[in-house]
Amino acid sequence: MPSATFTHTVTVPLSTAEMWALLQDPRTWAAIGPLDEVREPTSDDSGLAGFEWRATAAGRTWDGTARRDSVEAGTKMVLALESSEMGGWISAAVGSEGDGASLEVTLHARSVGMLASMFWGVVSGSLGRGLTTQVDALAKRLS
């Protein structure tokens, strides 16, 4: 099945601790990736553990789940993404950047179903553009 990986990095005028705290808020994830909506979040002692999501790509709405796959406290979080047609993961890594923090978001998406596979070129193009647009918009809101 086809897959694609996209990465975009921005600098925000926050400390790394402030940016990490934002990553524990599920609403932030709707602002940094191709996700349009997050709901039903769960948390544990390590922070955000998962949520349900909705995304629009290539003119179609996709519903799925995200669950924390790994975490390096204060530095990096990886969420596994699953839906009926697509799967993959999204990570957010926080680092120091001058007086602020860098935020590197990486999305790896793969088709799971036949529909996503048939239209993978359109779907992956939409995901890549969406990632860049949303991460840039988040950085602008935080500035």
Order the strands of the 60-72 sheet from edge to edge.
Answer: 3-12, 100-111, 86-97, 76-83, 60-72, 47-57, 35-44
112-142 pLDDT, tens digit per residue, is 867 666 666 777 777 778 888 889 988 998 8
Q: What is the dihedral of CA 19, 31, 73, 7, to 10 degrees?
A: -100
Residue 136 phi/psi, 5-degree rounding, is: -65, -40
| DSSP state string for 5-26 | EEEEEEEESS-HHHHHHHHTSH
Domains with residue ranges and CATH for the chain: 3-142 (3.30.530.20)
pTM: 0.87
Low-confidence residues of the chain: pLDDT under 50? none
